[in-house]
């Protein structure tokens, strides 16, 4: 029996488990720490194990079971030197090869034909944006939140974004005091970076670069920024945009219902979150959400206008989900019109004092831009 290390996707969560894989004659045994931290062993029948259609860079991916599929990611060198020789002349074989067609017969041929027709028709009829929206509907909220947690870890670690712990605590306390209702619990992280940036992660994470925070002079601007990003999360904009960046795999997921595989690919592409650019419609939706949310919570919705005014204007360099696409001037004009149409709820003086106090503590922590 041979033993090799691999990353194991158990079909329930997008995160991989570090696993020891024992290669037996007819069974592949996978031992890994489960969500509770206890050792667990799963067994795959070799005859039902396949090479997946897509593998991450530098790895070879095996697939097992019906939807939701399970996956094993081996380092390609390990696969070629240990796994492949162990099963020479036997499965695993790639989906679409002789053994799979023997098992599935006419169904396999029909799926391939429908796949080709569906791919061409979907691109022509709906376009990538509409297709991404359809794929996103396959992902339940609980899995979206788990995906968001994995994406957050990947992007903060992968992009090496240093966290400003003091202002992270204060900004989270501020947002809890604002108390805008949302489908996911919102968690904000303030990071130290010279770019003027902020972005939403599916499932409830918001990352704010301190250079953007440093530009703000009123607490209503911060409320507007966080409400705007919450709007992107509520409408699943960031999940749609990220899905669109891996459109080819998203099409396969739509046809086969392979949500687990899609989410693993999304985690591998988490770095795209720092530079997503939304369409005019999506930015309008998030701006409108922010105006209405602030008004309902008794905060001056003019904060949305003030927030947009501190963004770099057209022609400036900005790699951000809050970039000048669409043009900032057009968004400011639209926000002003919305502000005139909403009614601001009346809140108590204590609520106002709490927000002002938290904002003062946030500004006290401000770091000069020249420190970079």
Q: What is the mean pLDDT of residues 47-59?
A: 85
pLDDT at 195 over 70: yes
pLDDT at 122 over 70: no
Look up the pTM and report it. 0.63
pLDDT at 267 over 90: no
Q: Alpha-carbon distance 245 to 34, whole Å? A: 31
Tell me the H-state helices in the chain.
76-78, 84-86, 98-104, 106-125, 127-136, 141-158, 165-178, 210-214, 219-234, 237-245, 247-256, 259-268, 280-296, 302-309, 328-341, 349-364
Judged on CB neighbours under 10 Å (0-12, 13-18, 19+), 30 is buried
Residue 159, CB half-sphere, CA atoms under 13 Å: how many?
A: 23
* Residue 301 pLDDT: 96
Q: What is the mean pLDDT of residues 121-134?
A: 56
Of 86-90, 132-136, 290-294, 344-348, least confident by mean pLDDT is 132-136
* Residue 257 pLDDT: 53
- Of 222, 238, 233, 311, nearest to 279 by C-alpha is 238
């Amino acid at each position: 029996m041979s033993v090799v290390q691999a990353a194991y996707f158990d079909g329930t969560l997008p995160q991989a488990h570090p696993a020891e894989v024992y290669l037996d004659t007819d069974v592949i045994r996978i031992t890994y720490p489960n969500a509770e931290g206890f050792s667990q062993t799963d067994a795959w029948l070799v005859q039902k194990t396949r090479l997946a259609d897509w593998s991450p860079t530098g790895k070879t991916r095996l697939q097992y079971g019906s939807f939701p599929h399970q996956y094993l990611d081996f380092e390609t060198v390990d696969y070629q030197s240990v796994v492949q020789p162990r099963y020479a002349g036997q499965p695993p074989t790639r989906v679409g090869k002789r053994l799979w067609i023997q098992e599935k017969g006419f169904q396999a041929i029909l799926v391939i034909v429908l796949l080709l027709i569906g791919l061409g028709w979907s691109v022509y009829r709906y376009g990538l944006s509409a297709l991404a929206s359809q794929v996103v509907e396959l992902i339940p909220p609980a899995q979206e939140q788990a995906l968001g947690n994995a994406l957050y870890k990947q992007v903060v670690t992968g992009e090496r974004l240093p966290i400003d712990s003091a202002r992270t605590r204060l900004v989270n306390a501020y947002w809890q005091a604002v108390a805008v209702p949302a489908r996911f619990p919102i968690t904000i992280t303030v990071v130290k970076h010279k770019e003027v940036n902020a972005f939403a992660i599916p499932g409830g994470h918001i990352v704010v670069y301190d250079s953007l925070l440093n530009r703000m002079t009123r607490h209503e601007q911060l409320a507007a920024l966080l409400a705007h990003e919450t709007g992107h999360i509520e409408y699943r904009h960031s999940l749609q945009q990220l899905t669109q960046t891996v459109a080819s795999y998203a099409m396969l997921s739509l046809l086969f219902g392979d949500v687990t595989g899609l989410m693993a690919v999304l985690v591998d592409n988490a770095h795209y979150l720092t530079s997503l650019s939304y369409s005019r419609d999506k930015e309008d939706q998030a701006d409108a959400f922010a105006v209405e949310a602030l008004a309902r919570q008794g905060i001056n919705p003019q904060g949305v206008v003030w927030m947009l005014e501190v963004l770099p204007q057209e022609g400036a360099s900005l790699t951000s989900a809050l970039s000048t696409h669409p043009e900032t001037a057009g968004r400011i004009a639209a926000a002003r019109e919305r502000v005139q149409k909403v009614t601001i709820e009346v809140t108590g003086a204590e609520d106002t004092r709490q927000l002002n106090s938290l904002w003062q503590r946030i500004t006290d922590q401000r770091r000069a831009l020249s420190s970079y």
